Amino acid sequence: MTKFSFEEKTILVQYGIKKYENEATVTEKLKAILSEKDIQRNIDTLLGTQRVRRIGPENLQNNESHTELPDLPENLKSIIDTL
C-alpha cells in the first residue's frame, strides 16, 4: 500500500463518498489502497467535523452545504478515477 498523509487519506475517503455514497461500497472500493481501520477512522473524523453526514443507516453524503469538498491533488486524481 502506498503511504498517504492523513490529509490525503481524508480526501480519498471524501471523494469515495461522493462517488458511491453507500458506506459498504466506499469501504470495499478503498480497501485496495487504504486499510479498513484508516477508512473507518476517516469516516468517523469526517462525520465528527460535519464534513460528511449520514443520510440513512448505510449511506453517507458530503455535507457540501456546510463545507466545500477539498481540491483533489494531482497525485490522487488517477486513484479516484479508477475507483
Render each residue's pLDDT in the chain as its tens digit; 83 residues. Answer: 578 999 999 999 999 999 999 999 999 999 999 999 999 999 999 999 999 999 988 999 999 888 889 999 999 999 999 98
Could you tell me if residue 81 is inside a domain?
no
| pLDDT, position 66 | 80
Could you tell me if residue 75 is inside a domain?
no
Q: Which domain holds residue 35?
A: 6-64
CA distances to 18, 44, 52, 61, 64 from 57, rounded to whole Å, are 17, 14, 14, 12, 20
Could you tell me if residue 76 is inside a domain?
no
Cβ partners under 8 Å of residue 67, min gap 6: 49, 50, 51
Q: Domains in the chain: how many in total?
A: 1
| pLDDT, position 1 | 58
pTM for this prediction: 0.91
Could you tell me if residue 70 is inside a domain?
no
Q: Which residue has the cell 478515477?
A: 81
Could you tell me if residue 40 is inside a domain?
yes
